[in-house]
Amino acid sequence: MDGDKIGLQVQSSVLEVSHVLVAYELTNEVIDEACKNDINCILTFHPLIYKPLQAITNDERVGKLASKLIKNDIMHFVVHTNFDSHKNGTNTLIADNLGLINRKFIVPDPNFTEKGMGLVGILPNPTSVENFVELCSQVFKSPLRYNVGNGSEVQKVAVIGGSGTSFLNDVAKTKADVLITSDISYHTFHAFVGKMMLIDPGHYETEQFVSEALYNQLKVVFKDYDVEFELSKTYTNPVKYYPNTSQYIEKQSNNLKINNG
């Protein structure tokens, strides 16, 4: 998407990629994991550098992490909204977990028939608001924030992983019963009371399936190349919950252990 930051963000002296760590985002612990396992490239979903840097210093998160990558001669590559818009990308993962059928892109890409932002689909059978909220809590493994929509049942569901409120007008045109996205403001919840149900499980929570899916797809795409991929075991969500924080964190972090034992 316009304004997004994808591709190579930190270059190294390495001319050939041979060992890639796939992670949701960069943290000190992710870089430590890469160093420990002789990784020469970290591929993440979230960009490290999103706004122009005024300086690279150790008293600021981005500068500190960029410096650490350079010091350890590790390149950093980003796949972000190009995976969001992929037919097997972020929103397909959410739709799969919710069991949505008859899916369509909310904003189709005019240049690619199998790409677009967000998905809208339907549940095989209408369900009560209470049952759907419970389903979302189980899928996203988190507490939820939500408002009251325009009915007591849910069937048509729109999903936009990450911060998707900029697409609210596009979602409204689909006449979805509910939109699942994150970073929804208090006033936005107010604006859609009685019009459309909004559910916010959290930013990381809507994208927690991404790193494993990227890892699996990259192994297929590069199966004929001499490149080894590893799925990061580092849990990077900075958000804690009260009560039962350990319960939620354990369930979410299990997504990082499926392929790594």
Tens of pLDDT, residues 74-111: 999 999 999 999 999 999 999 999 999 999 999 999 99
pLDDT of residue 2: 83
Stretch 41-61: mean pLDDT, rounded?
92
Selecting from 3.10.150.10, 3.30.710.10, 1.10.357.10, 3.40.1390.30, what CATH number does the domain 7-79+208-256 have? 3.40.1390.30
pLDDT of residue 53: 85
Q: Tell me which DSSP letter residue 152 carries.
A: S
* Domain layout of the chain by residue ranges: 7-79+208-256, 86-206
pLDDT of 126 strictly over 90:
yes
Cα distance between residue 148 and residue 126, in whole Å:
16
Collect all residues with Cβ–Cβ distance below 8 Å to 177 and sequence separation of at least 6: 149, 150, 151, 153, 154, 155, 156, 157, 196, 197
Residue 35's SS3 state is: helix
pLDDT tens sequence across 204-257: 999 999 999 999 999 999 999 999 999 999 999 999 999 889 989 999 988 887
pLDDT of 199 strictly over 60:
yes
Stretch 255-261: mean pLDDT, rounded?
61
Q: How confident is the model at residue 258 (pLDDT cuts 50, 70, 90)?
A: low
Report the predicted TM-score, pTM, of the whole model to 2 decimal places: 0.94
Please name the fold of domain 86-206.
3.40.1390
Stretch 115-124: mean pLDDT, rounded?
97
pLDDT tens sequence across 139-196: 999 999 999 999 899 999 999 999 999 999 999 999 999 999 999 999 999 999 999 9
